[in-house]
């Protein structure tokens, strides 16, 4: 997943560095290690600015070295951090993660589902992981979601497929 996150960010950054400033897409992560580092690293390697929205945690999480220094922010409250993600996001690409990833993912899905936020591509990277974790068949059977809700997100397994979904959604060349 590290390599795929890095490649995805490189694809986004490669497109964006040739665009007018207002048309650029930026990689924004939680600024921490692992997959977040991979995405920031991919953008950094392409010479693109990227954002880190870090959070103060009991076991201190440091900002990874690939976040653009003047675009590194540290939050105390998860709600404010998520608000900054949501306000600026053109897409959400969720890689396998833990409770924090799930919290952010379900917040975005809920906001888009209830039309409290603009529609954005919601991409679940690693279909095997997400399909085992997120049992949408059960949710449909129980009546807690409707069939059209399944159209709110897409599973992918390759960086190029995630980038193609975003390009198609926004009509990017």
pLDDT per residue over 79-133, tens digit each? 999 999 888 899 999 999 999 899 999 999 999 999 999 999 999 999 999 999 9
User: If pLDDT is split at 50, 70 and 90, which confidence band does 62 have?
Assistant: confident
- Read off the pLDDT of each residue in 24-42 and give the average, rounded to a whole number: 96
Residue 60 has pLDDT above 80, yes or no: no
Query: What is the reported pLDDT for 131?
Result: 97
Q: What is the pTM of this model?
A: 0.93
Q: Are 6 and 39 in contact (CB under 8 A)?
A: yes
Residues ≥6 apart with Cβ < 8 Å to 110 = 116
Widest CA span in the chain:
48
Q: Can you tell me the distance from the alpha carbon of 164 to that of 173, in angstroms, rounded to the nearest whole number?
A: 10
Instruction: Say if residues 93 and 123 touch (Cβ distance below 8 Å).
Output: yes
Backbone φ, ψ for residue 74 (5° rounding): -120, 125
Sheet holding 27-29, edge to edge: 27-29, 50-55, 72-75
Q: Provide the 10 A C-beta neighbour count for residue 158.
A: 12
- Cβ-in-10-Å burial (0-12, 13-18, 19+) of 152 comes to middle
Any idea which residue has 């600026």 for tokens? 88
Would you say residue 61 has pLDDT above 80?
no
Task: To the nearest 10°, report the CA torsion of 77, 118, 157, 161.
Answer: -140
Please classify residue 57 by burial: count the beta carbons closer than 10 Å to its beta carbon, then call 0-12 exposed, 13-18 middle and 19+ buried: exposed
In this prediction, residues 27-48 reach a mean pLDDT of 96
- Tens of pLDDT along 124-173? 999 999 999 999 999 999 999 999 999 999 999 999 999 999 999 999 98
């Amino acid at each position: 997943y590290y390599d795929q996150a890095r490649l995805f960010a490189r694809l986004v950054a490669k497109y964006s560095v040739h665009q007018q400033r207002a048309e650029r897409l930026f990689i924004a992560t939680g600024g921490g290690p692992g997959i977040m580092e991979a995405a920031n690293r991919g953008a950094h390697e392409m010479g693109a600015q990227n954002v880190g929205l870090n959070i103060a945690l009991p076991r201190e999480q440091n900002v990874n070295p690939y976040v653009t220094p003047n675009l590194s922010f540290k939050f105390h409250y998860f709600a404010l951090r998520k608000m900054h993600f949501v306000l600026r996001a053109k897409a959400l690409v969720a890689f396998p993660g833990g409770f924090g990833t799930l919290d952010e993912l379900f917040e975005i899905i809920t906001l888009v589902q209830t039309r409290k936020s603009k529609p954005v591509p919601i991409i679940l990277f690693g279909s095997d992981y997400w399909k085992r974790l997120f049992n949408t068949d059960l949710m449909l059977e129980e009546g807690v979601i409707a069939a059209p809700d399944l159209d709110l997100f897409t599973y992918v397994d390759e960086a190029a497929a995630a980038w193609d979904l975003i390009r198609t959604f926004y009509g990017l060349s």
